[in-house]
Amino acid sequence: MKSHTKYLWFHTEQKRAYINITREVEQAVTESGIREGLVLVAAMHITAGVYVNDAEEGLLQDIDDWLEKLAPTGPNYRHHRTGETNGDAHLKNLLIGHEVILPVTEGRLDLGPWQQVYYAEFDGQRRKRVVIKVIGE
């Protein structure tokens, strides 16, 4: 079994941002030399997520509106008694998920025609990290 591990760093200008990282994941797969296996892509923070969906600008806005509707920014989280102000970002992380796992087939990231891998930042303007780990043979 072979493995390959790589970390991506982010420091977004906005509090919330959606960044297409499909090429970085594909590059990690190529670097690994793995032909058949799995690749894990995971946010290493509890206020960010990773998901797979479409690279369409309107949809990115729809996703942001929807996350804000179901897990709204606001002052009334118990978590804020600690001095934090990012209660909503924790819930957005739970809604979207912090990781995806994707197939590697014949040496390539085996995604469907419109599937793109996104890093979703919910509490940005600071350094955050994603881990990519490919395992297989």
Residues that bind a copy of itself (CB under 8 A): 1, 3, 5, 36-38, 40, 42-46, 51-54, 56-59, 61-63, 66, 70-71, 77-82, 87, 90-91, 93-103, 105, 110-115, 129, 131, 133, 135-137
Residue 70: CB atoms within 10 Å: 11
Closest CB to a copy of itself among 14 and 83?
83
Nearer to a copy of itself, 23 or 80 (CB): 80
Minimal distance, residue 15 CB to a copy of itself, in Å: 18
**Nearest distance, CB of residue 31 and a copy of itself, angstroms:** 15
Cβ–Cβ under 8 Å, residues 66 and 134: no
Least distance to a copy of itself, CB of residue 55, Å = 10
Q: Are 136 and 1 in contact (CB under 8 A)?
A: yes
CB atoms within 10 A of CB 59: 12
Q: Inter-axis angle of helices 87-96 and 57-70, to 10 degrees?
A: 120
Q: Which is nearer to a copy of itself, 23 or 56 (CB)?
A: 56
Task: Rank residues 30 and 115 by Cβ distance to a copy of itself and give the closer one.
Answer: 115
Q: How far is the CB of 109 from a copy of itself (least distance, A)?
A: 11
